[in-house]
Chains A and B, each alone.
Chain A
Amino acid sequence: GAVVSQHPSRVICKSGTSVKIECRSLDFQATTMFWYRQFPKKSLMLMATSNEGSKATYEQGVEKDKFLINHASLTLSTLTVTSAHPEDSSFYICSASTGAGNEQFFGPGTRLTVL
């Protein structure tokens, strides 16, 4: 099956710093990549949808200047949490898809802790 990697798997940073998370589709070209955040005891909350070569589409309530998304190629998307605060601590997970109606292939997620 299709494999999506995510790096790093775990990161601890100080408040005010920026953290970059990478999402790669290893064996297929992903037309679309999605970034999700999981709050405790809740399901996956879609943050943004990114298509290769174009600006990401952010969900309501997600600050685009806070969560910078770059989808520079068909196999790589990055999420940068800028000026991180403790409330940004969460589990972030990406997925990749070859198009609408197709299944999403998920990465293993990144646990971010902001001190």
Chain B
Amino acid sequence: ILNVEQSPQSLHVQEGDSTNFTCSFPSSNFYALHWYRWETAKSPEALFVMTLNGDEKKKGRISATLNTKEGYSYLYIKGSQPEDSATYLCAPEAGKSTFGDGTTLTVKP
């Protein structure tokens, strides 16, 4: 089982603020890294899949970077909106996916 750490555990920001959070994972046997968004009462939704060191992915105001050599990924949200409130999960894949405990983001209007 991979040791996956996400920080911070929770985050409260004002609407319009930009924010970022971290996913740390063992760099050995890396295959891919997944980011998911999990809104309350909904299913987790895939945001990004990244495989190469230095990968950067972007979807609207959300972007992510990947460093496989040092074992971390950052997720950035620019100009947070209340609808961005959710738990963001990362899941490095090394044979199978292991989920971190997530970062719960609350965006206040």
Contact = CB atoms under 8 A, between A and B. Distances in A.
Interface of A: 4, 34, 36, 42-46, 49, 59-60, 93, 95, 100-109
Contacts of B34: 103-104
20 contacts: A42-B101, A43-B99, A43-B100, A43-B102, A44-B89, A44-B99, A46-B96, A49-B96, A93-B44, A95-B44, A100-B31, A101-B51, A102-B49, A103-B34, A103-B46, A104-B44, A104-B46, A106-B43, A107-B43, A108-B43
Contacts of B102: 43
Interface string B11-44: 0000000000000000000011010100000111
B48 to A, nearest CB: 9
Contact of A60 (B1, B44, B46, B93): B1
Contacts of A34: 97
Contacts of B1: 59-60
A78 B42 CA distance: 20
Interface string B98-109: 111110000000
Nearest to A46: B96
B99 A101 contact: no
